Structures are given as C-alpha cells and as structure tokens.
Amino acid sequence: MKYSVNWKDVSLVDYGDVVSFLMTTDCPWSFIDRLEQETKYTESLLQDFPYIGAPIFTDIHKINVLEGYSIIYKVDEVNQSIFILCFWDSRKTKGDCYNA
C-alpha cells in the first residue's frame, strides 16, 4: 500500500520561497521547471519507498531532489504517512529544518 504524502505548512512556505527566489534571479525557467518536476517525482518515490532517504534521526530522513535541494521528512508507519517537514535549500543552516 502506498503511503500518503503530507506537506507541513512550513515546508510549503519553504518550497514557495525557493521557487519565488529563483524567479527573481537570472535562473533559467528550465531549471525551475526541472526542480518542480523532480520534487513531484521525489514525492511519488516516497509513496512507494518511504525509507529511500538517508536517516537523520530515528524516523526522520533526508532525500535529495536536485543538487542543493532536499526534502526532510518524517515517516509515520502506523498511519502509513509521510510528513514533509522542510524543503531544504542547502544555503540554509541545519537548524532551520529541524525546528519545523
């Protein structure tokens, strides 16, 4: 059975901030599109393989989306759910994600 994937509010804000920032730079639109596609692909991978990411803590994992961008997520086996805690832009400090 597939796990459900749920974005926490702060992770949606993180993701939106990254995309908005990239839109204000000279970043090619093709990269922004690729980031969006890879994020969706990573989300679908997590539905089938919730432990594919590298463990950070007991039930918290990190998976790379693209170079410099990762998703930090928590696995809830009881409810077969994935909670995306943070869309991590590597320019942030580590502590920013774990306080979500």
What are the pLDDT digits (tens) for 16-44?
999 998 899 888 899 999 999 999 999 99
**Mapping DSSP to helix (H, G, I), strand (E, B) and coil, where does residue 58 land?**
coil
Single-letter code of the amino acid located at 98:
Y
pLDDT for position 5 = 97
Q: What is the largest CA-CA distance in the chain?
A: 44
The β-bridge partners of 7 are 84
Helix (H, G, I), strand (E, B) or coil at 51: coil
User: What's the Cα-to-Cα distance from 43 to each of 21, 24, 55, 70, 99, rounded to whole Å?
Assistant: 22, 26, 17, 11, 21
Percent of the chain with pLDDT over 90: 70
